[in-house]
Chain A
């Protein structure tokens, strides 16, 4: 019997080793280990053995069975893995083909600049004030220390609708309206983004419609140095940490003293290049200390309160920041232009 078992084991293991498919292996399992298999038959024949030999023989049968089962299992793993690999090989795709496109739009570059500036100033305690684009002569000019006969009105030829109403030429009327709402009580801390309109022929550097962001702070101890500090924060945020600012005296009817603010040229780092016309500086802002007439007209006591105001041309910022060379691009809305601003930049 023992020999018969050895024989069966060898025979079975041989077949397992030769098996190349899972089905074949299963057949071997059924054939050798199944109820009708030869090993079971050997077990049945154990009744003829002596009581001493029977357990020995039983143990031997179990060893053989286990040996065959183990080998089948090992082989099964091998075959299964091969089957999986074969399937995977068939499923192989070209991963270099493009992915399924996801529709994705984005901000207009001007909105991008505006939101960046808004967020910066909100972080410094400002709110965002807005107002009408069609304004009264009063809010657009007179409340800003530009009476009807003021020569500075020449500086901004305007689109009038009636004698008394016009397309606003700056977002300053929003400042005037906001101050009025405060009824002489500070502090006021606002920025005013929005569209403005001037009588210009559209060309590479002029647009009859453009955007501005103005800022206004009124409190009891506001000084020119505060304006300087605030705009330095702005310049570094929008144009990069290395930027420096420079104030130059200037004139605006609604501020006194007035300044123009230059930012050190981003392109050449201040050495002088074609963008900054060799000066190392680029003019980007105007501002100053709020004119006492403007404060008084809006109901603020100019002895108690002082303030600063500044104005930024949004297109100018975007043109400098992104190297755009023609202001008309912002209003043509060529999608080849719009789609260039759809990602993060640090």
Chain B
């Protein structure tokens, strides 16, 4: 809402204030003033001039040579390019020495050989937005009405000696979508009276009811309809002061009748509509829900398909307006209109919102109806409009109005105790402080033993319960005056859940291993949503995505991380190690919400170790990625429960990918991105992993139990085994661990050899076996016995021979 500081003074005394100090006070008490615009900023030296003579410029077709009286000793010659300039006009003249917006200084000039002593201005040149300028002056200079005084400050005449406050209204404060509403707010803040506009009813003997009948067939959506009839109207421009006020509020002037309805909309917050009585085509207005397949052409020349969700005003047979949203072209007020019907009505917010949304028509009118207008201002707004039309459009107001009134809105009466207010705010206000706040707000209030009974005027439809009154008290009392305390009462232990602690530990382990945390978008394209998914489930799609790129919820994180790798690679950042912990979304049959499962994923590429000056470089390989996971499993106490199994997965290198199993269930995978995919995305060799973090975090973990530090030495034996190249190291390791018995404490692989010194189809794997007994020093015989079992087992189960 744009509030003209000058206009506001019609309703509330602002002496002792400036626009800025008032803005601060308004902001502090609850409505944010988002800006104060000084209309005359950058403007100087513009006066009203009278064009005494105009003739064609001798050397230029499109220029006019004008002799203009600017109130000086003698008239001055000004060359003007505007097509509409003419003799006898009163115009805005930027005289020599004037400054226009953009620090444009007016100097004496010669145009095509003719002297020019100033500039006749259009409104755009005076800093007014084009969209606010009446159509007549959209492409030329502005012409003042004849009664302005020559030599007078043109900025004053145009209302540009004003400041405009831009209020950022929250949806509950629609009462301030009107000058009067703002006046009440300001009046409460300053403790000053609100002056209402005076309405002098002058009506003819003819009765409005003889001209028009009103029938409401949807009284729930339209509980109050008031029609006023004004005859003998002369359509013309509205008075300049009204035009300037409309422009300050952001509304373009049209003609006196339309401007007056808009003026009342701004003044009272009550949207009005004017119909041309003679174009109505009947003598009745019927308000009803539209029929299916009914159509209307609205004022903006758009043809609108109506449905039974929409409330329409009809002439008995066809729609002439969409209620509260926009009028129809068929009954529009035009230059030749002589009799108008002014509609002042109360339309329900829901029905207006529906129509405004369906037709994508958001108007000043619909915005106010949607949020609720003051039911007690409807009638008065209609009366004031009728009176202004008679005053400024020469019309005769017919006696009375035609009404249908089924409205039953009573002011809210709310009781609240002083204790409740103080308890909820932590304050110690007194009865009289609170009472004075309600009085300043012009709420009805009576006090009985520290209980306030407050009657809330209908203009404040946002106040319905105790808490609303507490807020009014708080904002008028001042939040700065509320003390600062901390909650007392029941002591609660603060902690992270086991799951949350595991997540933090996982992060720290991955980061300690050198990975940076990334956070990517959950929304992705249909194509990417399912890539690298752990479960072949359907992805969840948005009903109305903003783009295909962000239309589905991800089933996996890897595609997002690969995008990040691609982005960084394209910027010469080749060595990357990233991880993300975040949710993926899996559609569940028969469930309203998808399953959200937290995954941990990573992408590593480039060099893992780089020690440049020592000439050491180690590129990332499968075992780097796997090592990171092993560290993660170790931190979470899962090492014993994890297995790896060679795997083939779409988009992954078939020979360099492993499924990760937790207690036998696949919870994810690790491996190299398939070279074809790498090429497509322009990536270098990249290793990725993605695991269900949820599964990891939910796996049971043993409590830590100390085991004694060995007091006896251990014995280590190394063996090199010749096995088939297809045999995997993990299997041999398991066979050894099982066969070694109690004494075998550790098995680790320390060499792999495949090459020309081996028989074809064979390879050598070397293991180091550590034997140890916590109770005694082992003898060679003990170890040999165990070791032979091991050798027998690997031979029997894996055909492994000791390497000679």
Residues of A within 8 A of B (CB): 97-98, 100-101, 103-108, 110-111, 115, 118, 121-128, 130, 132-136, 149, 151-152, 154-155, 159-162, 164-165, 167, 186-187, 189, 195, 197, 199, 201, 208-209, 217, 219-226, 228-230, 232-233, 246-251, 256-259, 289, 291-292, 306, 330-336, 338-339, 342
B350, B467, B468, B573: residue with the most chain A Cβ atoms closer than 10 Å: B467
B170 x A250 contact (CB < 8 A): yes
B423 x A221 contact (CB < 8 A): yes
| B425, B426, B479, B608: the one within 8 Å of A248 (CB) | B479
- Give complex CA distance A209, B571 in Å: 25
In the bound complex, residues from chain B placing their C-beta under 8 Å from that of A228 are 426, 479, 482-485
Supply 12 A–B pairs (Cβ within 8 Å), ascending by A.
A101-B610, A127-B492, A133-B596, A155-B171, A161-B543, A189-B494, A219-B489, A225-B485, A228-B482, A228-B483, A228-B485, A259-B479
- Give complex CA distance A333, B59 in Å: 64
Assuming the contacts A105-B511, A127-B497, A221-B489, asked whether A134 and B553 have C-beta atoms less than 8 A apart, the reply is: yes
Q: Which residue of A lies closest to B613 (CB)?
A: A97
- Give complex CA distance A52, B803 in Å: 80
Q: Which residue of B lies closest to A152 (CB)?
A: B171
Binary interface profile of B, 534-551, with partner A (CB < 8 Å = 1, else 0)?
A: 000000111111100010
**A185 CB to closest chain B CB, in angstroms?**
11
Q: Which residue of B lies closest to A187 (CB)?
A: B490
- Give complex CA distance A333, B566 in Å: 11
**B588 CB to closest chain A CB, in angstroms?**
11
- Give complex CA distance A250, B170 in Å: 7
Within 8 A of A (CB), among B461-513: 465-468, 470-471, 474-475, 479-480, 482-497, 500, 504, 507, 510-513
Q: Which residue of A lies closest to B515 (CB)?
A: A105
- Give complex CA distance A225, B483 in Å: 5
Contact of B635 with A by CB under 8 A = no
- Give complex CA distance A251, B479 in Å: 14
Complex A-B, nearest 3 residue pairs according to Cβ-Cβ distance, in ascending order: A225-B426, A103-B514, A257-B471
A289 x B470 contact (CB < 8 A): yes
A151 x B371 contact (CB < 8 A): yes
- Give complex CA distance A126, B492 in Å: 7
A224 x B511 contact (CB < 8 A): no
B479 x A106 contact (CB < 8 A): no
A224 x B474 contact (CB < 8 A): yes
Since A108-B519, A118-B496, A134-B593 are in contact, a sample of 13 more A-B pairs with Cβ atoms closer than 8 Å, ordered by chain A residue number, is A101-B609, A101-B610, A105-B510, A111-B507, A167-B542, A224-B424, A233-B486, A250-B32, A251-B171, A256-B465, A256-B467, A257-B470, A333-B520
**B690 CB to closest chain A CB, in angstroms?**
16
**A119 CB to closest chain B CB, in angstroms?**
9
- Give complex CA distance A271, B541 in Å: 49
From B103-111, B230-238, B576-584, B665-673, give the one contacting chain A: B576-584
In the bound complex, residues from chain B placing their C-beta under 8 Å from that of A110 are 519
In the bound complex, residues from chain A placing their C-beta under 8 Å from that of B181 are none
In the bound complex, residues from chain B placing their C-beta under 8 Å from that of A149 are 349-350, 353
Chain A facing B: main interface SS: mixed
A160 x B425 contact (CB < 8 A): no
- Give complex CA distance A111, B579 in Å: 13
- Give complex CA distance A220, B423 in Å: 10
Assuming the contacts A197-B522, A197-B523, asked whether A338 and B517 have C-beta atoms less than 8 A apart, the reply is: yes
Assuming the contacts A97-B613, A251-B171, asked whether A132 and B593 have C-beta atoms less than 8 A apart, the reply is: yes
| A160, A222, A224, A332: the one within 8 Å of B482 (CB) | A224
In the bound complex, residues from chain B placing their C-beta under 8 Å from that of A98 are 613
B523 x A221 contact (CB < 8 A): no
A107 x B497 contact (CB < 8 A): no
Assuming the contacts A107-B511, A127-B494, A291-B467, asked whether A246 and B573 have C-beta atoms less than 8 A apart, the reply is: no
In the bound complex, residues from chain A placing their C-beta under 8 Å from that of B573 are 334-336
- Give complex CA distance A132, B371 in Å: 32
Chain B facing A: main interface SS: mixed
In the bound complex, residues from chain A placing their C-beta under 8 Å from that of B657 are none
Assuming the contacts A164-B592, A335-B573, asked whether A199 and B546 have C-beta atoms less than 8 A apart, the reply is: yes
Contact of B567 with A by CB under 8 A = yes
- Give complex CA distance A165, B542 in Å: 10
Binary interface profile of B, 337-362, with partner A (CB < 8 Å = 1, else 0)?
A: 00000000000011001000000000
Contact of B568 with A by CB under 8 A = yes
- Give complex CA distance A104, B511 in Å: 6
A101 x B611 contact (CB < 8 A): yes
Contact of B30 with A by CB under 8 A = yes
Assuming the contacts A122-B496, A161-B543, asked whether A226 and B514 have C-beta atoms less than 8 A apart, the reply is: no
Contact of B370 with A by CB under 8 A = yes
**A173 CB to closest chain B CB, in angstroms?**
11
- Give complex CA distance A331, B468 in Å: 40
Q: Which residue of A lies closest to B553 (CB)?
A: A134
Binary interface profile of B, 598-614, with partner A (CB < 8 Å = 1, else 0)?
A: 00000000001111011
| A107, A164, A219, A229: the one within 8 Å of B484 (CB) | A229
Contact of B518 with A by CB under 8 A = yes
Contact of B215 with A by CB under 8 A = no
B370 x A289 contact (CB < 8 A): no
Contact of B427 with A by CB under 8 A = yes
- Give complex CA distance A221, B419 in Å: 12
| A106, A130, A186, A257: the one within 8 Å of B475 (CB) | A257
Assuming the contacts A105-B515, A228-B482, A248-B32, asked whether A165 and B546 have C-beta atoms less than 8 A apart, the reply is: no
A161, A167, A199, A334: residue with the most chain B Cβ atoms closer than 10 Å: A161
| B173, B487, B497, B521: the one within 8 Å of A222 (CB) | B487
| A101, A103, A219, A333: the one within 8 Å of B567 (CB) | A333
- Give complex CA distance A224, B424 in Å: 6
In the bound complex, residues from chain B placing their C-beta under 8 Å from that of A232 are 484
B479 x A246 contact (CB < 8 A): yes
Q: Which residue of A lies closest to B581 (CB)?
A: A111
- Give complex CA distance A339, B511 in Å: 11
- Give complex CA distance A223, B474 in Å: 12
Q: Which residue of B lies closest to A256 (CB)?
A: B467
Assuming the contacts A103-B514, A121-B494, A133-B583, asked whether A160 and B542 have C-beta atoms less than 8 A apart, the reply is: yes
B567 x A334 contact (CB < 8 A): yes
In the bound complex, residues from chain A placing their C-beta under 8 Å from that of B545 are 159
Contact of B585 with A by CB under 8 A = yes
